[in-house]
Structure 1
Amino acid sequence: MNWIASLPMYNVTPALAADWRAFLADVLREAAPLTRIVEADESLDAFWRRADLLISQTCGYPLMHGLHEHVQLIATPEFDAPGCVGPNYSSVIVTRADGPVHSLDASRGLRVAFNQPDSNSGMNALRHAIAPLSRDGSYFGEAVVTGSHVGSLMAIAENRADIAAIDCVTMAFVRDGLPRLARAVREVAWTQASPGLPLVASNNVDASTVEALRSALDNALHANPVRTKRLRLKGFSRLSLTDYARIEQLENEALTFGYTRLA
């Protein structure tokens, strides 16, 4: 098999994208040196299902909604960022810095931005936070799908939306690399925690290679401490699908209120 690899999830700035690519190159140099680093030239959902995928990072929501049948868990990064505890993360719910929203229950009927319908941090966790406030399955007046967390922040900053839930790791990277955008929003609340974005491999990858990848991840972490600090990495945990069932729990608790869609 001619393997491919990509880390597409936290490339908030070009400099950060270069760091992630260099980190991945170090991992592959040790564990699978013939692997090609690629850019996903198709939908991420299709990319994650590729039979030749050696390693990539996905979101926990699609993982628990069918993707787990095609991939195996390698590790979950632990980040040094507000809202992260071990391998678990939360989303920070933000609004415009000069806007009128100061609490969740003051956002009823307003415009919500979110990155993707299958995002745990941008959709599922926010839906869970809002569900107790919903009435007859509704709460927000309009939903704006932006394609990324940075896109959601820009929608708020440009007054195209009023509120959004942002993955706390992304928010930390935005504060590091896009401080003007970070200052354009302010915190309203936090969502509950769930396991963070896991590194996965195709089910075609054998067990010895998965173990080699785990070892190489740890070694790459310590090989370049300056880069590791820029990536806000602290370590890696080995979680199971049972751990990721927390994401389904958040979804099911929202559904008990009849709240199925943000708007």
Structure 2
Amino acid sequence: MHWIAALPMYNVTPALAADWRALLARVHARVADWLAARGDTLAIVESNEPLERFWLRDDLLLSQTCGYPLVHALADRVRLIATPDFDIDGCAGGNYHSVLVTAARLTAASLEACRGLRAAYNGDDSNSGMNLFRHAVAPLAEGGPFFSSVLKTGGHLASLRALAIDRTADVAAIDCVTFAFVREHLPELAGGVREIGVTASAPGLPFIASNALPADAATLLADALDAAVRVHPELARRLKLKGFVRRPAGDYQSILAMEGAAIARGYPVLA
């Protein structure tokens, strides 16, 4: 088998993208003997095709997805490897949340004060940008629209630009890991928004592989990820990684529970 690997989720800057590729290279070195014994190869690639299609490739050795597609389009169709444990507030034990932000030019001090403003979100299949946002708004919406308009931007950085630069939206929910990287590497962009709260927590974005991967290799990959963080502390520091946790797939059902709670309140879509 000619395997491929890519980590597409937290490439906030080119330097960070290079560091995520470096992490994959460290993993590659750790599993080289296993690959050679099978006559297999591994290429670290760019995920240029639609992510859902990429994540479902039979030759996918390692990638990272979002918890929302994991429990929807990818449910029972990929193998869960491990969940990153980030050295970021709110990320203990492999969890994360979204940071609720408004444009810095606005005075709204809470999500409730954002009624009637313009919302931005990254995509319909995002847990951090849509599902957690919807879950936070649902108790306030009272079964009707809460925002005056909703803009789908295609990514968290685009949502931040919509608030801070383009002024095409006023409020958004940003993955706290993304936001931590933005604050460190893109401070001018971070300075254009203001935090007004956080969403509920959810299991972090998991590393996955194809179901074609042998079960014993899943443990090998998880061990290789652990070793990459332990043996290369400077790389781990730049990626804000403390390590990886091995969470059961059932943990991710909490994402479906939050979706169900919003629907039960009469708020099935962000509006």
Would you call these one fold, judging by a TM-score over 0.5? yes
Query: Which structure 2 residues correspond to residues 190-229 of structure 1 after superposition, within 5 A?
Result: 190-229=198-237
Where does residue 125 of structure 1 map in the other structure? 132
Where does residue 247 of structure 2 map in the other structure? 239
Where does residue 185 of structure 1 map in the other structure? 193
Instruction: Compute the displacement of 1:208 (Å).
Output: 2.0
Does 2:180 correspond to 1:172?
Answer: yes
Where does residue 70 of structure 1 map in the other structure? 77
Aligned partner letter, 1:20: W
* TM-score w.r.t. length of structure 1: 0.97
* TM-score w.r.t. length of structure 2: 0.95
1:52 is aligned, of 59, 64, 81, to: 59
Question: Matched residues in 1 for 2:26 and 2:230: separation?
Answer: 11
Q: What is the alpha-carbon root mean square deviation over aligned residues?
A: 1.0
- Check whether the contact 2:52–2:73 (CA below 8 A) recurs between aligned residues: no
Question: Matched residues in 2 for 1:261 and 1:137: separation?
Answer: 10
- Check whether the contact 1:111–1:142 (CA below 8 A) recurs between aligned residues: yes
Identity of aligned residues (%): 55
Instruction: Compute the displacement of 1:123 (Å).
Output: 0.3
Question: Matched residues in 1 for 2:93 and 2:160: separation?
Answer: 25
Where does residue 257 of structure 2 map in the other structure? 249
1:260 is aligned, of 258, 263, 268, to: 268
Question: Matched residues in 2 for 1:63 and 1:74: separation?
Answer: 12
Residue by residue over 1:213-245, the C-alpha shift from the partner in whole angstroms, topping out at 9 and shown as x without a partner, is: 111101110222111101000111111221000
Where does residue 90 of structure 2 map in the other structure? 83
Where does residue 16 of structure 1 map in the other structure? 16
- Check whether the contact 1:54–1:201 (CA below 8 A) recurs between aligned residues: yes
Question: Matched residues in 1 for 2:159 and 2:121: separation?
Answer: 6
Aligned partner letter, 1:2: H
In structure 1, list runs of 5 or more residues that go unmatched: none
Question: Matched residues in 2 for 1:229 and 1:243: separation?
Answer: 27
Aligned partner letter, 1:221: V
Instruction: Compute the displacement of 1:140 (Å).
Output: 1.1
Point out 4+ residue stretches in structure 1 off by more than 3 angstroms: none
In structure 2, list runs of 5 or more residues that go unmatched: 36-40
Question: Matched residues in 2 for 1:45 and 1:16: separation?
Answer: 22
Where does residue 30 of structure 2 map in the other structure? 30
Aligned partner letter, 1:100: T
Question: Matched residues in 2 for 1:214 and 1:103: separation?
Answer: 40
Does 2:168 correspond to 1:160?
Answer: yes
SS at match of 2:2: coil
Residue by residue over 1:142-194, the C-alpha shift from the partner in whole angstroms, topping out at 9 and shown as x without a partner, is: 11111111111111002111000000000000011001111111111110001
Instruction: Compute the displacement of 1:31 (Å).
Output: 1.2
Query: Which structure 2 residues correspond to residues 141-160 of structure 1 after superposition, within 5 A?
Result: 141-158=148-165, 159-160=167-168
Instruction: Compute the displacement of 1:83 (Å).
Output: 2.3
- Check whether the contact 2:83–2:247 (CA below 8 A) recurs between aligned residues: yes
Question: Matched residues in 2 for 1:258 and 1:137: separation?
Answer: 7
Aligned partner letter, 2:70: L
Q: How many residues align?
A: 263
Between stretches 80-89 and 10-19, larger displacement belongs to: 80-89
- Check whether the contact 1:6–1:56 (CA below 8 A) recurs between aligned residues: yes
Instruction: Compute the displacement of 1:66 (Å).
Output: 2.9
